[in-house]
Amino acid sequence: MFDELGMNPDQLKNYCDENTIGVVATLGSTFTGIYESVQEIANALDVIENETGLDIPIHVDGASRAFIAPFIQRKLKWDFCIQRVKSINASGHKFGMAPLGVGWIIWRTVADLPQELIFNVDYLGGQMPTFALNFSRPAGQIIAQYYNFLRYGREGYTAIQNDCANTAQYLGSELRKIDLLEMLYDGNGGIPAVCYSLKDENKAEFSLYDLSDRLRMHGWQIASYPLPSNRENITVQRILIRHGVSHDMVSLLLRDIRKGLDYLKNNSVPKSSDNISFHH
């Protein structure tokens, strides 16, 4: 129970009651890159429905994954093929490769988007339904997203995401060879990313924050941060591999990580550096 890194479907019943409006499954966790199993969560909710009559829908937070799974993990069931999934969001500006600021959400049916969230406005001579807080917004990122869809196509997205996944898995396999590190996610099965902590965090003479500092000296911005509630005693670093992060770049990064760790092993650092964290 205390070593989970995501939602445990077996525990859902402890958190669901008649006030639960939905369960959000995250596909690729922001913290680790790991996928939560939508299928297992749906199965657990089926059991809950059988026992209590509560029909609880699922929203899939596919910020990263919804632009990855359709191309390179096509066997995995996570989307509207699961009846309980009523809505999915995806960030165009992440693995969708559109400019910053564009995200998408799709509802299973019109009926799944509550009417009271939609405002019908009579605007300059036409009826315009809007589901947003602000009215005038730029469309550039949306057009850029459509351009990417047409320009790359399914084939292009597949090639790019495969490349990213391979690079992340290479990085994961090389990091695994470093004795001081404990891999939490090695790039296999989730989004193109890796996540790791220090093996003996409490015994070590330095922290990942110190490693962040060393890497920063070589121009790498690799944040260190604690995991969320109940696992906040673990400090991790996460590296995301997106389009443009090449195998060569990752080789240079690995060189600097090894150098940084060697330096920290051989040179004591003041403990107070734990308090210095990275800010966006």
Ligand X SMILES: *Cc1c(COP(=O)(O)O)cnc(C)c1O
- Our CB check for ligand X shows the closer of 79 and 174 to be 79
Query: What single string gives the DSSP state of each residue in 25-78?
Result: EEBS-TTT-PBP-HHHHHHHHHHHHHHH-----EEEE-TTGGGTHHHH-TT---
Contact 148, 96 (CB under 8 A): yes
Residue 91 binds ligand X (CB under 6 A): yes
Which one among 57, 103, 156, 226 touches ligand X, defined by CB under 6 A? 103
Q: Which of 12, 16, 38, 63 binds ligand X (CB under 6 A)?
A: 63
Q: Of 73 and 251, which has the nearer Cβ to ligand X?
A: 73
> How many of the chain's residues bind ligand X (CB under 6 A)?
8
CB of 127 to ligand X, least distance (A): 28
DSSP reduced 3-state for 89 = strand
d(CA 126, CA 130): 12
Cβ of residue 49: shortest distance to ligand X, in angstroms? 26
36 in contact with ligand X (CB under 6 A): no
Shortest spacing between CB 39 and ligand X, in angstroms: 18
Decide: is 87 part of the binding site for ligand X (CB under 6 A): no
Closest CB 206 distance from ligand X, rounded Å: 29
Residue 34 near residue 42 (C-beta atoms within 8 A): no
CB of 28 to ligand X, least distance (A): 6
DSSP secondary structure string for all residues of 103-153: EEEEESSGGGS-GGG-EEEEETTEEEEE-SS-S----HHHHHHHHHHHHHH
Stretch that binds ligand X, among 44-52, 61-69, 136-144, 149-157 (CB under 6 A): 61-69
Residue 150 has a CB neighbour count (10 Å cut-off) of 9
Could you list the residues that contact ligand X (CB under 6 A)?
A: 26, 28, 30, 61, 63-64, 91, 103
